[in-house]
Amino acid sequence: MIELKNISKKYNNTWILKDVNLELKPGNIYVFKGVSGSGKTTLLNIIAGLDKNYDGDIYVNGNSLDKYYNEYRNSIGYMMQKSLLFRNSTLLENLRLIEDNVPKIEEYAKLFNVYDILNKYPNQISGGEKQRVALIRTLLNDRSIIIADEPTSSLDYENSLIFVEHIKKIDISNKIIIIATHKNIYDDIASEIININFGKLSIINDSEIDNNFKLELNSKKNKMLNSFILSNKNSFGIVFNIIIMLFTITILLVFSIKIKYQSESIKQYLKDNACNVIESKDFLADEIVDLIDKRYDDYEIKEKDYTIYSLLNKDDSVFKNTKYIAYGSFPKKNEVLINNYFVDLKFPNIEYKNIIGEKININNVEYTISGIIDYPESKAIYFGFYENILDNQIPAVFLDYDIIKDVGKISSDSVFLKIKDKYLNDIYLSKKYERNYIDNYQFTKASDKIYRSTNGTKHPTNIALIIIVIISVILMIFLANQLMLELHFQKKKMGYLQVFNFSKNQVRKIYLLQYLINIIKIFALSMIIYLIIVTIIYFKFDLNYFINFYYIFIILIILLFYIFLIIIFPLNKILKNDIIELIR
């Protein structure tokens, strides 16, 4: 039994309750009626132990409430005007948090006509359906005292009657049920109907309420309901989700551009300035490794008085231009080219034309001389593998690349790349040998031109990265404030969750999990949008800005860690408050 003795409370010097005396006994259903602001909800909160700021005394089974406060509060089940369901959990998951008894949940769900929607989320059902699920949640608690504040305010008449019929089936012999309402549907099951009129209580036997009173009550309740619906529509959750999505997409795009801008710029340059075999710096070669048809290393074999150099296949070799072969022809398999200095060294006083067909031995393998390269000053060339031969007058033999790479050594750090294009092989002419009769040749290395033309792209991407860092900091601050604001509006729900006997740790875990799951969903959607954007760029502009999954994973981890931090600190701060402070 609950006894209220001389309970009084006032706000701003106005009495909300004045000398209220009331006895509530097991086996009874008490229906409180009163207009909004009459003190009805205040009295419910005091009875529920959610409001301690009052004058007077409350006794439970003859004992002061102060001595048994925790036990008393744990004996109370609640039905709220708002459903207070977790938006990222299905209805079944919401109910299983109260009691993990699926058959029992399904039994209630069938009774309240929500069985078919148990696997849906709160945002997928109507307000009335939400409230019915909230009613089931309360009944699952199976408490000895049930306090219902406008439990059917969101339900239509038919579903309200279903709820009333269910209450009739409850064994109330050891329960106290208190219902605050403006409806008359509970009058038939009420043990007592108590009218609350601005702090004054009166027990009435007439279940009919004046029509003007009902019209006023319905008008006020409708305004409250519309206000609640409007506040949900303007929820900060939507803004929060949009900001996270835009932030994620922007980060992904900027990192994509930063990582791949230079290689894509090189690719575009090569499309406009194509060349076959080019010498490249190592780091530049790494940038365009996906674009190459073949990669050559600069192999050579040092003999006592001459050097053996790589000879690329005919399509890629500068020597396919026969004007550089003074005598003979481009070698076939098991044939080699030699230069004029090698002739002077090994075949002195023999005419060049008579040397074609002679044999030379390399690593115990015999090769036939197929041609002789001559370097008269008027034809001096500067190109790729052989740029130092002329200046140093080095005797040279040119051996098939596939043979020399098995027995030779890489002579330098240079990398030579065969680029897929429509142009002839890349020939470089040294400026110091420039002659007026030479036409249509460029006097600068292609690799240097590529480097100069694309190296400047680092600056815009660096600037873009700096800008995105600044924007990210601003967005993170805004995001943190937005989340703190949203959590502030969740304070009441956090309080009621504790009313439903959830510990603070459970509430903390629930909110963390809810937000982190939401972030993962948003990230997945952001990834889809990002992939659509880069796919469009790829097909429209032939630019590949798809980045490695590794970078995407790192961005996700950083984002989740940041979200965790901006959730956990305000959440801990809020949960330090007393339950009464949270729900007030």
- Residue type, position 340, single letter: N
What pLDDT, in 10s, does the model give residues 183-192?
888 888 888 9
Greater confidence (243 vs 348) lies with: 348
> What SS3 class is residue 144?
coil
Could you tell me the two tokens for 211?
A: 């029509």
First and final C-alpha spacing in the chain: 26
Rounded CA separation 564/513 (Å): 10
Q: Which residues contact 426 (CB under 8 A, 6 or more apart)?
A: 275, 276, 277, 278, 383, 384, 446
Does the pLDDT value for residue 194 go beyond 50? Answer: yes
Q: Are 415 and 285 in contact (CB under 8 A)?
A: yes
Least confident of 153-157, 319-323, 328-332, 418-422: 418-422
Among 446, 441, 452, CA closest to 417: 446
* Four-CA torsion 157, 162, 167, 168, nearest 10 degrees: 100
Mean pLDDT of 449-474: 65
Percentage of residues of the chain with pLDDT beyond 70: 75
What pLDDT, in 10s, does the model give residues 476-518?
787 778 777 778 878 877 887 777 667 888 888 888 887 788 8
For 310, list phi and psi in degrees, rounded to 5: -70, 140
Does the pLDDT value for residue 338 go beyond 90? Answer: yes
Q: How confident is the model at residue 235 (pLDDT cuts 50, 70, 90)?
A: very low
What pLDDT, in 10s, does the model give residues 24-66?
999 999 999 877 777 788 888 888 888 888 889 998 888 888 8
| Per-residue pLDDT, 523 | 86
Encode 106-122: b = buried (16+ Cβ within 10 Å), e = exposed: eebbebbebeebbeebb
What is the domain partition of the chain in residue ranges?
2-75+143-232, 236-262+459-583, 276-425
| Per-residue pLDDT, 430 | 34
Mean pLDDT of 159-172: 78
Cα Dmax for the chain: 138
What pLDDT, in 10s, does the model give residues 527-553?
899 999 989 988 888 778 888 788 888
Does the pLDDT value for residue 466 go beyond 90? Answer: no
Return the top range by mean pLDDT from 114-118, 245-249, 554-558. 114-118
Does the pLDDT value for residue 381 go beyond 70? Answer: no
Encode 487-496: b = buried (16+ Cβ within 10 Å), e = exposed: beebbebbbb
Sheet holding 76-79, edge to edge: 76-79, 145-149, 176-181, 28-33, 192-197, 200-204
Mean pLDDT of 431-447: 38
Does the pLDDT value for residue 238 go beyond 90? Answer: no
A 10 A CB-CB count for 23 gives 12
* Average pLDDT of every residue of the chain: 76
Q: What is the DSSP string of 498-532?
A: HHTT--HHHHHHHHHHHHHHHHHHHHHHHHHHHHH
Mean pLDDT of 367-389: 68
Least confident of 270-284, 405-419, 517-531: 270-284
- Residue type, position 219, single letter: S
A 10 A CB-CB count for 462 gives 11
Greater confidence (55 vs 374) lies with: 55
For 366, list phi and psi in degrees, rounded to 5: -90, 130
Does the pLDDT value for residue 322 go beyond 70? Answer: no
Residues in the chain: 584
Express the helix, strand and coil content of the chain in percent, nearest 5 each: 50, 20, 30
Could you tell me the two tokens for 166?
A: 């269910």
Greater confidence (91 vs 36) lies with: 91
Rounded CA separation 246/547 (Å): 18
Among 545, 411, 510, CA closest to 84: 510
Could you tell me the two tokens for 102?
A: 């699926």
| Per-residue pLDDT, 268 | 65
| Per-residue pLDDT, 206 | 45
Could you tell me the two tokens for 333?
A: 């398999």
Mean pLDDT of 128-154: 83
Q: How confident is the model at residue 106 (pLDDT cuts 50, 70, 90)?
A: very high
Fold observed for domain 2-75+143-232: Rossmann fold (3.40.50)
| Per-residue pLDDT, 220 | 41
